[in-house]
């Protein structure tokens, strides 16, 4: 499942930067919370489709992304998104995604970074419920650091938007803590970092 192609990621970062930078001004805070080595899970707020490339541009390490399986609907898209580190998830029937969900854990156990949007879909300027399924699966195997991310889009001109990407401190799950309580705790931190009242 490790189909990620670093050469394509480097090329895509250059192209995404050329496309997004005229439209967005990227401001980052807390990047130092990302480990230089070893596994981690990024848990960003999901405001809009641009969140995915923006998180990729803001993060200094290569990443794997959990993404809706509709993006992998034809052979070219499947190759392209897997080459960028995409891991498909069927949100309606997650049991069908079991091999891919196991791939998420395998990548983490290999020391990689994974992006998981805990809301599962867009919730603009408000918080959606945190989904526990994949986080629960990860925590049954081991306990990597989870890093909440706040995203804020602020219009600063007719054609320009400032995007603030706020990386929070690493959060760890206590072995005695129920997963839903852990996810609620993380979601409150994502809301705080995004400037949203949870």
Residue 173: inside a domain: yes
d(C-alpha 166, C-alpha 73), whole Å: 32
Instruction: Give the domain range for residue 36.
Output: 6-194
Quickly state the pLDDT bin for 56 (edges 50, 70, 90). Answer: very high
Burial code (b: 16+ CB inside 10 Å, e: under 16) for 139-167 equals: beeeebbbbbbbbbbeeeeeeebebbbbb
Quickly state the pLDDT bin for 101 (edges 50, 70, 90). Answer: confident
The yes-or-no verdict on residue 115 having pLDDT over 90 is: yes
Number of structural domains found in the chain: 1
Predicted local confidence at residue 100, as pLDDT? 73
Residue 41: inside a domain: yes
Predicted local confidence at residue 54, as pLDDT? 94
Predicted local confidence at residue 40, as pLDDT? 98
Predicted local confidence at residue 141, as pLDDT? 86
Residue 110: inside a domain: yes
Quickly state the pLDDT bin for 129 (edges 50, 70, 90). Answer: very high
Poorest-pLDDT segment among 36-45, 62-71, 87-96: 87-96
d(C-alpha 62, C-alpha 147), whole Å: 15
Q: Mean pLDDT throughout 64-71? A: 86
Residue 186: inside a domain: yes
Residue 1: inside a domain: no
Q: Please, are residues 67 and 89 in contact by the beta-carbon 8 Å criterion?
A: yes
Predicted local confidence at residue 94, as pLDDT? 59
Q: Which of 3-7, 42-46, 103-107, 130-134 tops mean pLDDT?
A: 42-46
Residue 78: inside a domain: yes
CATH of the domain at 164: 3.40.1130.10
Predicted local confidence at residue 26, as pLDDT? 93
What order do you get walking across the sheet with 24-29 strand by strand?
Answer: 24-29, 161-167, 146-155, 40-44, 113-115, 63-68, 86-89
Q: What φ, ψ does residue 39 adopt, rounded to 5°? A: -75, 155
Strands 40-44 and 146-155 come out as parallel
- What SS3 state is found at 100? helix
Residue 91: inside a domain: yes
The yes-or-no verdict on residue 55 having pLDDT over 80 is: yes
Residue 43: inside a domain: yes
Looking at the whole model, is its pTM more than 0.85? yes
Terminal-residue alpha carbon distance, the chain: 36
Among the listed residues 177, 62, 178, 70, the one whose alpha carbon sits nearest the alpha carbon of residue 78: 70
Distances, alpha carbon 189 to alpha carbons 113, 169, 195, 197, in Å? 20, 9, 10, 10
Distances, alpha carbon 138 to alpha carbons 72, 111, 129, 177, in Å? 23, 13, 19, 14
Over the stretch 133-159, which tens digit does the pLDDT of each residue have?
A: 889 989 988 899 999 999 999 998 888
């Amino acid at each position: 499942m490790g189909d990620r192609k670093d050469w394509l990621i480097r090329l895509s970062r250059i192209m995404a930067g050329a496309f997004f930078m005229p439209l967005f001004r990227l401001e980052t805070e807390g990047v130092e919370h990302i480990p230089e080595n070893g596994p981690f899970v990024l848990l960003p707020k999901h405001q809009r489709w641009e969140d995915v490339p923006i998180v990729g541009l803001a993060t200094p390490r290569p990443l794997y992304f959990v993404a809706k399986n509709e993006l992998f609907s034809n052979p070219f898209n499947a190759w392209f998104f897997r080459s960028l580190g995409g891991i498909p998830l069927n949100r309606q029937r997650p049991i069908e995604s079991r091999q891919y969900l196991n791939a998420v854990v395998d990548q983490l156990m290999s020391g990689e970074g994974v992006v998981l949007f805990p809301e599962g879909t867009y919730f603009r300027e408000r918080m959606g419920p945190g989904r526990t399924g994949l986080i629960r699966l990860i925590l049954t195997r081991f306990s990597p650091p989870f890093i909440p991310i706040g995203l804020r889009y602020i219009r600063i001109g007719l054609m320009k938007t400032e995007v603030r990407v706020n990386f929070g401190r690493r959060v760890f799950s206590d072995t005695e803590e129920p997963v839903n309580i852990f996810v609620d705790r993380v979601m409150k931190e994502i809301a705080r970092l995004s400037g949203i009242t949870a």
